[in-house]
């Protein structure tokens, strides 16, 4: 029986055409730094990365502390855990009028509820409650929406009250939607708009890679703040495991010595 060596040609041509047709969409997504699968984005936090935590602390003070507090964390604890020298902590991070013994509190007044419709939440436990992936997607899915009072909206938190404070870094983008048909009641067909991708309309001061690193560091820092002893637990955990391995080996040697004459 002769083998038809050309039977795979239509399949290969179809795959090539599909790739060519999809390339403009992938190119647009790559140019904006985002795609349609934003729900699968992972923060990949690592609270053992001290350099990332230090950058995240700096970024939090610069862009978040104006509205959000860390009511369960003291400046002194932050400096100790992140190995920030006291003089650097006082000069570059602690706001004027506060001391290292103070909790990390925002200067935002009670009028914030009037300005934004609600009081900005304390972020001490927000990463523990929501999870780092939620925060990562939230910070990366702001888009221009002229119908909102702040001029922006968010895919993770629709009708968000918070303005896009990171737009100067990331730039401005709009959400592009596509219309799909879905089954309706009684055999009818309904049309629904679903998110497709983001389109950049104004550049920011950072590249997409730099902004992604910025968001990663900030979320990593918030993950640390949600449970500060975690860093010490991770460090001690290695020694505990090594101790248990050594103890198991010694116990086995002792057991063998006691039972060596038992037949």
Q: What are 209-244's pLDDT values in tens digits?
A: 999 999 999 999 999 999 988 777 777 888 888 889
DSSP conformation class of 205: S
pTM metric for this prediction: 0.75
Element counts in the chain: helices (H) and strands (E)? 10, 6
| Domain ranges for the chain | 21-253
Counting residues of the chain whose pLDDT is more than 70, the rounded percentage is: 85
Tell me how far apart the alpha carbons of residues 51 and 172 are, in angstroms, rounded to a whole number. Answer: 28
Task: Quickly list DSSP for 82-130.
Answer: TT--HHHIIIIISPTT--TTSEE-----TTHHHHHSSPPPP-TTHHHHH
pLDDT in tens, 68-77: 999 999 999 9
Q: For the chain, give the number of residues.
A: 263
What pLDDT was estimated at residue 86?
A: 94
8 A C-beta contact, residue 212 and residue 35: no
Beta partners for 144?
Answer: 152
8 A C-beta contact, residue 198 and residue 176: yes
The CATH architecture of the domain made up of 21-253 is Orthogonal Bundle (1.10)
């Amino acid at each position: 029986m002769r083998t038809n060596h050309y039977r795979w040609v239509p399949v290969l041509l179809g795959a090539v055409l599909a790739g060519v047709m999809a390339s403009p969409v992938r190119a647009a997504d790559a140019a904006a730094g985002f795609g349609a699968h934003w729900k699968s984005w992972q923060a990949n936090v690592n609270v053992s990365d001290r350099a990332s935590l230090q950058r995240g602390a700096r970024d939090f003070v610069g862009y978040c502390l104006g509205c959000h507090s860390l009511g369960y964390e003291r400046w002194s604890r932050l400096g100790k855990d992140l190995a920030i020298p006291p003089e650097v902590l006082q000069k570059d991070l602690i706001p004027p009028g506060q001391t290292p013994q103070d909790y990390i509190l925002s200067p935002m007044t009670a009028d914030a509820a009037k300005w934004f419709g609600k009081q900005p939440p304390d972020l001490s436990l927000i990463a523990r409650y929501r999870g780092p992936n939620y925060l990562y997607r939230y910070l990366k899915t702001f888009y221009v929406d002229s119908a909102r009072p702040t001029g922006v909206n968010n895919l993770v938190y629709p009708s968000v009250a918070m303005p896009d404070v990171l737009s100067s870094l990331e730039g401005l983008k709009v959400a592009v939607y596509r219309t799909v048909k879905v089954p309706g009641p009684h055999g009818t067909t309904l049309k629904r708009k679903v998110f497709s991708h983001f389109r950049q309309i104004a550049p920011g001061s950072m590249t997409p890679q730099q902004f992604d690193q910025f968001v990663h560091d900030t979320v990593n820092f918030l993950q640390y703040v949600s449970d500060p002893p975690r860093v010490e637990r991770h460090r001690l955990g290695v020694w505990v495991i090594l101790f248990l391995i050594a103890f198991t080996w010694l116990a086995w040697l002792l057991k063998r010595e006691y039972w060596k004459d038992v037949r």
